[in-house]
Amino acid sequence: MGFAKGEASGYLHLLDRLRQFARGWAHPNKPTFAGVGTGQLTQVSATAATVAETWTLTCTAAAVNGGTFSVVGSVSGAQANATVGVAYANAFLSFLLTDGATDFQVGDAFTAVVQAPLAAADRWVEDRWVAGPPAELIMHGPGAGADAIYVGVTTYFDAGADYYNWKLQGFTGYQPAMAFGAQPGAILDRTPHVPLWQNAIPYWFMVSARRLLVVAKVSTVYEACYLGFLQPYATPNQYPYPLLIGGSLAFLGAEPAATSTAWRWSATPVEHRLPFEPGTQSNITSLEDQMCAVRLRNPAGAWRGFASLVSSAYIAGTLTGGNPANSPPTAANTTLRGNLIWPGCSKTTGFNVRQAMDGSPILQPIVLCSSDEAPNPDGVSLIGELEGCYALSGAGVATEDLVQIGGVDHLVVPNVFRTTRYDFFAVRLG
């Protein structure tokens, strides 16, 4: 699995950076700066020819509301100069230097480290890329080698309502002549979304041969998406295509919505939650289509919705109030209703477990399960878990902490804007 951390200049740039990293291009990390000027180095992107090296951009000529920078790679050497305010591209790198309130001075310098690309076995194939807006990205991952795991992202925005979002999809194949939403096996209605914006977005990419996982920071909130296979509790013959598409905002109605501010990153409805503990306003008593931010393709080829909450009630024991049952997912057939994600659906069971004897947090898998509550057509089952995603108690941890388990770092993230001890999760970075 590969990991990359950086900062995108907006929702479209974020998608382009994910595309580049997943397909196996070297990845520019967030630049650092030393100097006087307050301008920015933005829209940094790699090319297929980019190699792992350090780029240094140094102001060689200052100017009012401008300036000239040398561009030197530690491997690629000196390239053509860059001018503030003019989009720049060479064979290895593209970017835009912007002016700030304080002009750049001679000697001001940006440094951008480009990390090595993904291992060949983890690289995804790009099937469609439209830069947009609206952008369209369709890729497929190799899985175990003989797999082809098809996922997609398209974008939409409303400048007046200040939302700039991703709309997520999953497919069973790719046809070049077909529209994005009409690809084979697509989710036909109520697709998951990710609320973003058109400003700086710090991000973390975790890419394996089986799935793409993104965590993005928008202002002070955290968004996420999971695109690819979950780890099923079944053999490949029993469950050959366990495709999960998870975002951090459930479908809210026809787009553009009449109350379009509900699609913004700052909205606070129950539907705006990470895919590790999603919520919905629908009554999830079956595996039928629901307004859920997590959709799973079942063995029969139908897309099912999963959630941990209905309105403000946790889906355990009761849908309408009272104390949630504290049963583990092994009791899903008697204590839980509908299509559930544990431990979030029981709220207290997993999150009351605090620390191991050595003081380290205890990470618990994010498990999809379903009950035998009528009219559930699929019956009770423990379905599988999200790869590299865990629940942990918020006691003793803070947002963006790194928790090391078995020598591997895990990033701690909150549930969008929520910070109770029930609202923290960890994603594996290696």
- The model's pLDDT over 145-199, given as tens digits with 9 standing for 90+, comes to 889 999 999 999 999 889 999 999 999 999 999 999 999 999 988 899 999 999 9
Q: What percent of the chain has pLDDT over 70?
A: 85
List the beta bridge partners of residue 235: none
pLDDT value at residue 347: 57
134 in the same domain as 111:
no
CA atoms within a 13 Å half-sphere pointing along the CA-CB vector of 416: 23
For residue 359, give the DSSP letter.
S
99 in the same domain as 129:
no
328 in the same domain as 280:
yes
166 in the same domain as 74:
no
173 in the same domain as 91:
no
226 vs 247: CA distance, rounded Å: 7
State the pTM of this model: 0.90
Can you say whether residue 148 is alpha, beta or left, with left for phi > 0 and alpha for psi between -120 and 50 degrees?
beta
Residue 11 in domain: no
Sign, CA dihedral 315-316-322-327, equals negative
Residue 21 in domain: no
343 in the same domain as 250:
yes
Total residues belonging to the chain: 430
Domain that holds residue 283: 120-428
Q: Which of 81, 115, 149 is the last residue of a domain?
A: 115
228 vs 243: CA distance, rounded Å: 5
171 in the same domain as 96:
no
Query: And the tokens for 359?
Result: 């003081």
Residue 389 in domain: yes
Q: What is the mean pLDDT of the chain?
A: 87
Q: Which of 82, 115, 148 is the last residue of a domain?
A: 115
String of b and e for 331-351 (b: at least 16 CB within 10 Å)?
A: bbeebbbbbbbbbbbbbbbbb
168 in the same domain as 39:
no
DSSP structure string for 281-336: SS--SSSS--S-SEEEE-TTS-EEEEBSEETTEESBSBSSSSPPP---GGGHHHH-
Is 73 in contact with 17 (CB distance < 8 Å)? no
Residue 18 in domain: no
259-260-265-268 Cα dihedral, nearest 10 degrees? 10
Q: For the segment 80-137, what is each residue's pLDDT rounded down to a tens digit?
A: 999 999 999 999 999 999 999 999 999 999 999 999 999 999 999 999 999 989 999 9
Residue 9 in domain: no
List the beta bridge partners of residue 46: 93
Q: Going edge to edge, which strands form the sheet with 88-89?
A: 40-46, 93-98, 88-89
Ranges of the chain whose pLDDT falls below 70 = 252-259, 281-290, 310-338, 346-352, 371-380
Among the residues of 128-208, which ranges form H helices?
none
Residue 231 in domain: yes
217 in the same domain as 79:
no
Residue carrying structure tokens 């129950």: 270
257 vs 241: CA distance, rounded Å: 33
pLDDT value at residue 332: 36
pLDDT value at residue 190: 84
130 in the same domain as 110:
no
How many domains does the structure of the chain reveal?
2
Residue 5 in domain: no
195 in the same domain as 69:
no
172 in the same domain as 239:
yes
Residue 4 in domain: no
- At residue 36, φ and ψ (nearest 5 deg) are -105, -40
Q: Which of 90, 115, 140 is the last residue of a domain?
A: 115
Instruction: Please return the burial class of 288, using the count of CB atoms within 10 Å of its CB with bins 0-12, 13-18 and 19+.
Output: middle
Which H or E run contains 192? none
8 vs 158: CA distance, rounded Å: 19
